[in-house]
Amino acid sequence: MTTRRRPGLGTNQELARRHNLGTVLRHVHGAGQISRAELTGRMGLNRSTIAALVNELEALGITERALPAEGIPRQGAGRPSAGVRIAEDGPFVIAVDLGVDRAVVARIGLGGRVLQRSQAPVRSDGEAWQVGAAVAGLIRCVVEGVPDAAQLVGIGISVPGLVRNSDGLIRLAPNLEWHDVSFGGIVLAALGLDVPVSIANDADLGALAEHVRGVAVGVDDLIYVSGNVGVGAGVIAGGVRLEGAGGYAGEVGHLRFNPAGRECHCGNRGCWETEVGAHAIAEAIHCPSDKVAQLDEVLAGFGEPSPAVRATGTALGHGLADIVNVFNPRQVVLGGYFRSLYALVGPEVEAALADRALPAPLESVTLTLPGLGSDSSLLGAAEIALEPLFVDPVAALGTALVGVGTRLAG
């Protein structure tokens, strides 16, 4: 994953140094542990430059020296290159995965290490301030006992809805019935903290996490399609998050699917979501409506797929064909309850995709399950909160908060 600078900017020695420092950290973060020789190779810089950068990260307390890791091949015939790894008590972030029926909160360090986690049910008809208070409670849990010196870089929040990228405003979270909610501000107010908050759509964050440390590491063009009551997609294109002008890109759930079909909550008729959304599937398999949010588990309990489930698999594949034609991804990752659906009716999904996708984009795409299970969006939320560290580690640490455990214990 890379961050784009404003196009047309020049660069100078100081900008180059910060870029390099952040990029070294990004590599260590991605790999967990990496040798200096490997860094030299990946970054195209010489050994002394890499050594200076690594020393600077170490002095900042972000990384530490490691013995050459077993299993990492030696570069050439010389002595093995010393390793760099994420420091034990380095900076951390708080990641929040807000679902339709539950919130998961975790304290996560560089390298994607989940240091502590906590979760609680959320009422889907709850008001934003009630949900915010519940999330704040979970945050207090996960920072309990954190050493005072540990630095909180920021909070990342994943939400099942449309999030404006300029300020993190939740424009619409249909299944929470939220419109224009400043959820970041609500959580901070409930905590009494002032720390950077980043908010993004759950599917977008699923795509990000799968790209950084899931099934799509090294894959620059991927789509994470999430069945999570509603249906949405996160897109990584050319190694970069596709956000669109306002941050709303990827609303594949409302692709026109069957103009003669059912009414959708968006006001239209026959959107893809009316065929493969949780409510449609629940109806097809006679799942009680209070179990819709647990559709993943319900589907996982199926032995043999019924004809209705097979038909849903076909509808999933047909919609994926549109996505493949339009985005030409290398990988489509099926998240949320699509994991269980795909496990049940994978052949139907694949056949329908092959039936409708154009041959050229079809031949290079694979459908896969998430490498991070149900944690993709949670880990993606950590990634956006960590991002300032990769842009400019020194500046990000400068604004990080210490003593959080003590402050929130009160």
Candidate list 319, 388, 393, 405; residue touching a second copy; CB under 8 A: 319
Q: Could you give the 3-state DSSP secondary structure of residue 309?
A: helix
Decide: is 266 part of the binding site for a second copy (CB under 8 A). yes
- Judged by CB under 8 A, does residue 162 bind a second copy? yes
| Contact code string over 2-21 relative to a second copy, x by CB under 8 A | x-x--xxxxxxx--x--xx-
Whole-Å CA distances, 104 to 10, 135, 137, 262, 355: 42, 8, 11, 33, 38
77 part of the interface to a second copy, by CB under 8 A: no
Q: Which is nearer to a second copy, 82 or 266 (CB)?
A: 266
Residues comprising the chain, all counted: 410
| Of the residues 102, 113, 117, 171, which one makes contact with a second copy according to CB under 8 A | 171
- Beta carbon nearer to a second copy, 87 or 365: 365
Nearer to a second copy, 31 or 104 (CB): 31
Q: How far is the CB of 251 from a second copy (least distance, A)?
A: 4
Residue 48 contacts a second copy per CB under 8 A: no
Distance, first Cα to last Cα, the chain: 38
Q: Compute the distance between CA of residue 216 and CA of residue 351 in angstroms, rounded to an integer.
A: 23
CB neighbour class for 370 (10 Å; exposed up to 12, middle 13-18, buried from 19): buried
d(CA 44, CA 212): 20
With b meaning 16 or more CB within 10 Å and e meaning fewer, what string describes 110-124? bbbeeebbbeeebeb
- Cβ at position 321, least distance to a second copy in Å: 7
- Residues in contact with a second copy, shown as a per-residue x/- string from 281 to 310 under the rule CB under 8 A: ------------------------------
Q: Does 318 bind a second copy (CB under 8 A)?
A: yes
Query: By CB under 8 A, how many residues form the interface with a second copy?
Result: 70
What lies within 8 Å, CB to CB, of 296 at 6+ separation is 336, 337, 339, 340, 374
What order do you get walking across the sheet with 83-86 strand by strand? Answer: 33-35, 83-86, 63-66
Please report whether residue 172 would count as binding a second copy according to CB under 8 A.
Answer: yes
- Cβ-based neighbour number of residue 338 at 10 Å: 29
Binding flag, residue 237, a second copy (CB under 8 A): yes
For residues 349 to 388, the per-residue mask of contacts with a second copy, x marking binding by CB under 8 A and - elsewhere, is ------xx-xxxx--xx-----------------------
Residue 43 interacts with a second copy (CB under 8 A): yes or no: yes
Compute the distance between CA of residue 289 and CA of residue 268 in angstroms, rounded to an integer.
22
Residue of 78, 260, 288, 307 that binds a second copy (CB under 8 A): 260
Q: Is 49 in the site for a second copy (CB under 8 A)?
A: yes
- Would you call 402 helix, strand, or coil by DSSP? coil
Q: Does 258 bind a second copy (CB under 8 A)?
A: yes
The C-alpha atoms of residue 176 and residue 167 are separated, in whole angstroms, by 20
Q: Is 47 in the site for a second copy (CB under 8 A)?
A: no
Q: At what angle do helices 183-191 and 128-142 cross, to 10 degrees?
A: 50
Closer residue to a second copy, CB minimum distance, 268 or 374: 268
Which lies closer to a second copy via its Cβ, residue 19 or residue 117? 19
Check residue 50 and report its DSSP letter: H
Beta bridge partners of 178: 173
Strands 170-173 and 366-368: unpaired
Residues 6+ apart with CB under 8 A from 83: 33, 34, 35, 36, 65, 66, 67, 68, 69, 72
User: Contact between 311 and a second copy (CB under 8 A)?
Assistant: no
Contact between 394 and a second copy (CB under 8 A)? no
Note the residues at the interface with a second copy (CB under 8 A): 1-2, 4, 7-13, 16, 19-20, 23-24, 26-27, 42-45, 49, 162, 164, 171-172, 220-221, 237-240, 242-252, 254-260, 266, 268, 318-319, 321-322, 325-330, 355-356, 358-361, 364-365
